Amino acid sequence: MSLTPELVAELEVLALFNLDSSQEGLKIHQTAAPKHIAAAQRLFEKELTDQPDGGYLTSLGRDAAQNVQTVLTILKEQQTA
């Protein structure tokens, strides 16, 4: 599986969510990069978020965001080692 620009944009949006609080959502403004606006819409269509412009993570979305953020943490730690 290759990482398409669309998948990378979705991963970037998932990485923005604060997982320390389920009460904190995300708002992708219309002035954001078009790739992130489109990524937010796709995440909504995949039922990972509850709004097409971000909103809150669904249960599945929270699992996905946790995995994305874990992978990024591991890779960043490997770069500094």
Range of the domain at 56: 5-80
- Cβ atoms 39, 14 nearer than 8 A: no
Tens digits of residue pLDDT in 7-65? 999 999 999 999 999 899 999 999 999 999 999 999 999 999 999 999 999 999 999 99
- Is 90 exceeded by the pLDDT of residue 1? no
Question: What is the spatial distance between Cα 10 and Cα 13, in angstroms, rounded to a whole number?
Answer: 5
- Count the domains in the chain: 1
Going by C-alpha positions, the residue among 76, 47, 40 that lies closest to residue 62 is 47
Tokens of 44: 């909504």
